[in-house]
Amino acid sequence: MNKKGNSLFFGFALVICLVLINQSCVTPVKQAPKATLFSGIAKGYVFEIGEIKAGSFETADYLPVKIRFELTKQLRERGLLAGQSETEKRLSISIVIKATYPGSGAGVEWYDELISDIKVSDIRKNEVIAKTEILGFSAWGSVLSDFIEIAHAKEIADFLESIVL
């Protein structure tokens, strides 16, 4: 083989090795929610989105806003978002979002993990009826963060939907 052929072969072999070593970078890993608590029947309820906030000073300001936007969209599409009616049976959602950053986090523009602590409260009884923690991972840095946030909001909506169906 000539030099160019060797370089192409080496490059191709390197890419294959990296893909095989870290498959989670190629395909998202769906994890079951951690520490799930659900203490009742909520069939027929709809959700109103309450407070969504950053859980640490490192968490970028746009993350709670982005998750609120995507979650609102998901719940609306599923017919689970509370409307203006006062007669609806409502559950309130509060979410605390934390992002972890590679290394010390100083000067890094992307997160490698999103952690959302979700609490669902029955407004009439003023009690928490469900809570969980949902994790999202970003192996590609800022390149795919928008997709990670959309997928994260979808996982939150899936959890919420499981409570009311």
Q: In the beta sheet, which residues pair with residue 127? A: 122
Q: Which residue has the higher pLDDT, 14 or 54?
A: 54
Does the domain formed by 31-164 have CATH 3.30.420? no
HEC string for 122-134: ECCCCEEEEEEEE
Q: For residues 117, 122, 126 and 128, what is the CA-based torsion angle, rounded to 10 degrees? A: -30
For residue 5, how many other CB atoms are within 10 A of its CB?
A: 9
DSSP reduced 3-state for 56: coil
Mean pLDDT of all residues in 125-149:
81
Residue 52 has pLDDT above 50, yes or no: yes
The b-or-e profile of 48-85 (16+ CB within 10 A means b, else e) is: ebeebebbeeebbeebbebbbebbbebbeebebbbeee
Query: Got the DSSP string for 73-109?
Result: HHHHHTT-B--S-SSS-EEEEEEEEEEE-STT-TT--
Q: Where are the domains of the chain?
A: 1-27, 31-164
DSSP reduced 3-state for 4: helix
pLDDT in tens, 36-47: 677 666 788 999
- In the block, residue with structure tokens 């989105």: 49
pLDDT in tens, 103-126: 655 556 678 889 999 999 988 888
**Which of 130, 29, 45 lies closest to 88 in space, CA to CA?**
45
Q: What is the pTM of this model?
A: 0.74
